Structure 1
């Protein structure tokens, strides 16, 4: 994402600053009881000087930083030096032009010059020219740097937000691809076995498998789902595993109706149930118990621990994946508890 250069903002704020200075000088001149023409002339001159200074600053910014202004700090000191030098030269150029114009009677000095500049001569006069020139450019330099940094901060925040959105979408795409080949192989093997033994059970299994695969590969661009949708997906998965493992797998759902419309990360409950099945031993003597419950707005997936010695094909990225996606959606973390007897993952349901 390329960050847009804030040229319009620089010009707009420069014009506002110049007009403000013109008004300020006009008011100050009027308070000194000078004539109207003198006040307007000095105010116009002050605004013009500031506007030229702003133009010099903007030209230097464009020259040094437009192509890569995200690295603007590197050129700040160089811009300050060159801008101050150009502004001092400009003020001296104006001073000598004014002297030439006065010599030939083109302008009356009282309209444009303060009393100090009419009295001072030599190095004192030059010092009076240099110091205001440096102060004026310093003010403009600070203003433009503030605009650049503020714009860069805003654009960077937008870029981070965009990257988070892209990352969430990419994560969802990767998540949909986590329906591993061995799961499909096992599902089809179970289906083949059920067709031979019990046609009605095989039909029910096929319907659940169809719903599960349809939702798994659906284009959920927002990356969210309702509790009702996640519970159905998880229930379909567990029911298929129940048909496979029989009494070696037990599961319960305790999700009140008042929470059914809450928001969860897409594909959040089923992977937790799948992890429980993948990482634990399942036997009729020692069945695996999976419980999905909701209490005070917190949904929890819990199972008893009877770990397998090794788990083939496990990457360990499932929980970190869920944790990252949940934090992007809610700003909170998931809570993982492993006390050696049971394992649980809990997180708040996001209200609608």
Structure 2
């Protein structure tokens, strides 16, 4: 507020002292009303410029804001300040009832341009400083989230390769080899696909939705063989969304949560619903809690939210109801 008030007073007194006003115009220009009007006008335009600058910084980071749009935005700000100074002159003439209202002498125009250029230097330095600060904060946040993203992916890899998962998979495979050799081949192929996918996506921050769904098919197949044919999913995603992207292993985490926290059996089958709603991937399941609840720290969903915020500047949405648990994941074009 002090900066824009000072800038307004600087412009006001410079114009007042170096412009040859008629006595009637000078009387109106030197009034308290003119001073207050100038301060309010400069604060209004100044704060609007700051808000606009913040919006531009966000858009530039998120959407790689087109250069011509960026130029148009700042050209509008420059023109707005020129019109503001011109408005101070015009207002003084209106208050003094002096004609012609919109015409000025050559010296008046020269002074107007000088004042305007001085203001542009100050505003340019201010916006540059704020942009540098915003970029520094974004870099710090990005570095922090990148670290969390790497940690989350490493945790997902550990979860897939942990002894418990491998032990269950190998036990299931042994049983299938003995009782259902044909299915054992399919089980081995899907187990191989799961491990291959997990290893391949370690160096990727985003993955097409189609690849993630293919992975989930293999991952769910392993659980269906182990649990029985009592878990399935209903996918209703339009074809045009298949190339949209999400963080890798997103569906693995959500499916794992469903299996971990719900009682699933032939008497209590589980269907996971997957759809698109307002640029979010929506994954929901009916709630069928186990009698003995597994301990949960919620770190998996927290890491997923951090990864989504890093990639899209949006958090995931978690909705808990009595009968349905829903997680909404922002998708990226």
Structure 2 length-normalised TM: 0.56
- Superposed, 1:48-59 pairs within 5 Å as none
User: What's 2:151 paired with?
Assistant: 170
Q: Which residue matches 2:214?
A: 232
Q: Is this contact kept in 1: 2:237–2:275, CA < 8 A? A: yes
CA contact (8 A) 1:169 1:222 kept: no
Map of 1:188 onto structure 2: 170
Gaps of 5+ in 2: 1-126
Q: For the pair shown, which has the larger CA radius of gyration, 1 or 2?
A: 1
Structure 1: give runs of 5+ residues left out of the alignment: 1-145
Flag the 1:199–1:326 CA change in 2: closer, same or farther, 3 A: same
Q: Which residue does the alignment assign to 1:203?
A: 185
Q: Number of matched residues?
A: 208
Q: Are the equivalent residues in 1 in contact too, given 2:261–2:294 (CA < 8 A)?
A: no
Residue 288 (str. 1) matches residue 270 (str. 2): yes
SS at match of 2:325: strand
Counterpart contact for 1:172–1:223, Cα < 8 Å: no
Please name the residue that 1:64 is paired with. Answer: none
The answer to which of 296-305 and 311-320 deviates more is 311-320
The structure-2 alpha-carbon separation of the partners of 1:198 and 1:153, relative to structure 1 and needing over 3 Å to count, comes to closer
**Are the counterparts in 2 of residues 276 and 303 from structure 1 also a CA contact under 8 Å?**
yes
Give distance in 1, aligned partners of 2:128 and 2:284: 52
SS in 1 for 2:234: strand
Query: Counterparts in 2 of 1:6-21, with a 5 A limit?
Result: none
Secondary structure (helix, strand or coil) at the match of 1:203 reads: helix
CA contact 1:169–1:221 (8 Å) conserved in 2: no
Rounded Cα–Cα distance in structure 2 between residues aligned with 1:254 and 1:157: 36
Q: Does 1:258 align with 2:240?
A: yes
**CA distance in 1: counterparts of 2:177 and 2:288, whole angstroms:** 31
> Aligned in 2, Cα 1:161/1:295: closer, same or farther, shift over 3 Å?
closer
Give the direction of change, closer, same or farther, for the CA distance of 1:152–1:217 in structure 2 (3 Å limit).
same
Cα deviation per residue 1:116-165 (whole Å; 9 max; x = unaligned)?
xxxxxxxxxxxxxxxxxxxxxxxxxxxxxx99998677555434433333
TM-score of the pair, normalised by structure 1: 0.54
Q: What is the deviation of 1:347? A: 2.2
- 1:245/1:167 Cα in 2 relative to 1: closer, same or farther (>3 Å)? closer
Question: Is this contact kept in 2: 1:327–1:333, CA < 8 A?
Answer: yes
1:302 aligns with 2:287: no
Counterpart of 2:250 (choices 268, 272, 276) is 268
Q: Is the 8 A contact 2:207 2:245 kept in 1?
A: yes
Give how far 1:312 is off: 4.5
